[in-house]
Amino acid sequence: MKRLMASLLALCILLSCTVLIVNAEENEFVKKENLAIMEGCTYSWSGTWQNNGVDSEAGDPGHKCFDGNVDTKWGSADVANGDQWVLVRFPEAVTVDGFKLWQDNGPWTNITGFKIQVQKNSDTWEDVYESEVFTEKWREFEYTFETPLTITAFRVYLPADKAGGKSAVELTEVQVYKYHRYSYGNGNGNTQLEYDAETKTELPLDGAATDASSTNNPSSNAIDGSNNTKWSTIGSSVPQWIQIILPVVENLSGFRLVADFNWTDIRAYYVEVATKDGWVKVYEHSGNSIEHFQEVDFDSLWNTDSIRFTITEVGPDALQGHGTTSIDILEIKLFTADAIEPETEPETNPQTSDMYIIFILGMTAVLGLSLFKRRMTVNA
């Protein structure tokens, strides 16, 4: 009997651990900061088309790989002149986790292989990555280093014999990333606590990250504090979502949503918060076009570290007169407020209540076991 209980207990522990691990993986978000555009970076390149001089500004110069625009390119010099390269020097030593390259879509380039080289506070270039030999033209290539590298310069090295039969190589963007890891889903959800509306304050979102289902303009534009910048989707298909991930768990009392009515007529959307038990719906709107400026106060405080807005229906009434062309959100604000503690029994600390459950379960098991033993003794 004891052995059976012990194996059952072991099985339970094993199962609960598995669930915990799965949750942890699901709820990790990595924000990639492109250090190649940090202030003080300088750029250099082997040449441009028909201009074999290093750092030539003629044609499509190499700094166009560092302008955040995948439609502007660097077009290298003729590979008959030798290997080509483009590089970024950082103003100080930086620790990087990975990189991403974009190749131009045009007919002049078909890179079949490249190397990534770095400098670590010296003039020596060190190979840290060599690509496979590509048999088909690639547009985007992203890679995470096995361990982060501390470097002072980063170079994409393009051997002349890997130009895929073309006379030049052309990249539109080179991004070098530092990863910021966020985990979410650590809040308790509905606190059941009402709050003092007088204490309502806007939550600073400086340290927050954003993610979205589709991005024409970056999702981070929706929390940058400016109504002149926006998150926008590619096209107007629904559903589309935008998520804000907070650096710590907060008590949310509500939100403000400012949509761009020139381009977007939102008819239906819902809002969820991440909790220890998964996503929980906290607000829903459907039927009419939303107000340009939507401010919603929850009935009680929600303890959470992430909130997600999902747009499920759009209409034809955007101001520009051509219907909804994309889903555009200028700003999202989040609010917190002081809880009004209930006058009756104080709220039980969730950790304490967990301990109680474990304690009670333990006591029940011990009691059950001793009763069982006693009965066995009586029967004997």
Choice between 149 and 259, CB closer to Ca ion: 259
Closest CA to 301 of 351, 254, 357, 267: 254
The whole-angstrom separation of Cα 297 and Cα 92 is 45
For residue 228, the SS3 value is coil
Choice between 259 and 301, CB closer to Ca ion: 259
**Contact residues for Ca ion (CB under 5 A)?**
64, 67, 69, 72, 172-173, 221, 224, 226, 229, 331
- Smallest separation (angstroms) from Ca ion to the CB of 247: 19
- Please give the span between the terminal C-alpha atoms of the chain, in angstroms, as a whole number: 16
Closest CA to 301 of 349, 343, 340, 352: 340
- Smallest separation (angstroms) from Ca ion to the CB of 81: 23
Choice between 155 and 337, CB closer to Ca ion: 155
- Tokens standing for 331? 């700003």
Choice between 245 and 337, CB closer to Ca ion: 245
The whole-angstrom separation of Cα 238 and Cα 214 is 10
The whole-angstrom separation of Cα 186 and Cα 305 is 7
CA distances from 250 to 29, 217, 254 (A): 18, 27, 12
Matching residue, tokens 């980063």: 154
Matching residue, tokens 């059976």: 4
The whole-angstrom separation of Cα 84 and Cα 311 is 46
State which H helix or E strand residue 359 sits in.
helix 350-379
Which residue intervals of 111-209 are DSSP H helices?
none
- Smallest separation (angstroms) from Ca ion to the CB of 231: 8
- Smallest separation (angstroms) from Ca ion to the CB of 223: 7
- Smallest separation (angstroms) from Ca ion to the CB of 146: 28
- Smallest separation (angstroms) from Ca ion to the CB of 68: 7
Choice between 169 and 337, CB closer to Ca ion: 169
The whole-angstrom separation of Cα 246 and Cα 64 is 33
- Smallest separation (angstroms) from Ca ion to the CB of 153: 19
Choice between 97 and 331, CB closer to Ca ion: 331
Choice between 72 and 190, CB closer to Ca ion: 72
